Homo-oligomer: A and B are copies of this chain.
Amino acid sequence: MAVGQARFPDMPVIDGLRLGTAMAGIKKAQRSDLVVIEAAPEARVVGAFTRNAFCAAPVVVAREHLAASTARGAAARYLVINTGNANAGTGAPGLRDARLTCAEVARLTGVDERAVLPFSTGVIGEALPMDRLLAGFPDALASLDDTSEAWHRAAEGILTTDTRAKGASVTLSLGEASVSINGISKGSGMIRPDMATMLAFVATDAAIEPSLLDGLLHETLEHSFNCITVDGDTSTNDACMLIATGRGARVVGEDQIERFRNGLQRVMIELAQAIIRDGEGATKFVTLHVSSAASRREGLDVAFTVAHSPLVKTALYASDANWGRILAAVGRAPVSDFDVSRVSIDLGEVRLVEAGGRALTYTEEAGSAVMAREEISIHIDLGRGEEAATVWTSDLSHDYVSINADYRS
């Protein structure tokens, strides 16, 4: 299942960036499961990683190599991603395998092994099939290309339970020049914020200061990938990487930075929403908007409490305007001195709750009409302050249970 149609966008060339794929047979035969992203030597790479304490071996090594590259002023040159096996919960042998992977790519390409960042996604707790994985690299490197097709193939090569490739792109004019931002993401279950909750690779040809680039990544992450949830589970392997090759226009001055930030934010939100639209078993795409919160944290707490409620999620699945469940979920959110008589809740354009109870104007017909839609927005006004937060989520369907009762992830 997935919500709506999705067409993989045309991706412009990002000068200084190429992508290659191969079929290494890591878990299944005859499918793309190995991706290499090559960045030009002058590129800047920044990243954000899962906060799961049991983070996977590739996350440990990627963090380490990224820090080492930054420390010596050298760029990370190759990002290598395999699907089918997460190399998580694999202890010391897993770390050795992640390092071996980097060493092999370094040997084949003549770069320092610390210039290679590994990423894995798939089954937790099984050893990487190193022979097959390493044997795949020559093909992946041979296919390196900067075309839209190369982006599409890479987007397909990182999928697990996803049903479709996810991509987004914007092109911005900066002064007389223009820069592009392309991104791909994967993720379908085990999706939750704090932090990255999936894999995403975003690249731009813009030339931009590394510290500014890093700041923009974390800032836009906070309003995109950190605002989505399918099932509240944070994966062990999540990462979001942003590469600026520097071959294009320079981003300078407040105005240009602001435009770049907005463009990046658009790409990040589109990629994040694509994950929810393709959430495991998803039949609905739900926007939870909380306004008049005392703080953004409070707004997020209320939104996530509703988004994680199995009762709300099953009601959404059933297209049942069961506003009582939304009210009950809001009521148990971690908000201190919560005066519910100031809360109003709207389902789409229909007022559900006000003054502590069902709105007098509410009718079952009006509520049901909204719930029947594939895209639903729920607006919760807390009447406490000036802050707001938006979270995107999916419903809880029979297919979610089937997918997760059958698939060994």
Contact = CB atoms under 8 A, between A and B. Distances in A.
Interface of A: 51-55, 86, 88-92, 94, 123-125, 189-190, 192, 194, 231-236, 308-311, 314-315, 317-318, 320, 322-325, 327-333, 335, 338, 340, 353, 355-358, 396-398, 400-402, 404-406, 408-409
A404 B315 contact: yes
Contacts of A353: 89
Given A91-B356, A314-B405, A317-B401, 20 more contacts: A52-B328, A53-B333, A54-B327, A54-B331, A86-B324, A88-B327, A88-B328, A124-B325, A125-B327, A190-B328, A194-B332, A232-B308, A233-B311, A233-B332, A308-B308, A311-B409, A396-B401, A398-B398, A400-B401, A401-B401
Ordered nearest first, which 6 A-B pairs have the shortest CB separation?
A: A124-B324, A91-B357, A54-B331, A318-B405, A314-B404, A53-B338
A96 to B, nearest CB: 12
B322 A409 contact: yes
B314 A401 contact: yes
For the complex formed by this chain, how many copies does it contain in all? 2
Given A355-B91, A358-B90, A328 B404 contact: no
A123 B333 CA distance: 20
B190 A331 contact: no
Nearest to A314: B404
A310 B406 CA distance: 13
Nearest to A322: B408
Contact of A320 (B231, B340, B356, B405): B405
A301 to B, nearest CB: 13
Contacts of A320: 405, 408
Contacts of A124: 322, 324-325, 327-328
Contacts of A331: 52-55, 234, 236
11 contacts: A52-B332, A90-B358, A124-B324, A124-B328, A125-B323, A189-B311, A190-B311, A192-B332, A317-B405, A322-B408, A325-B409
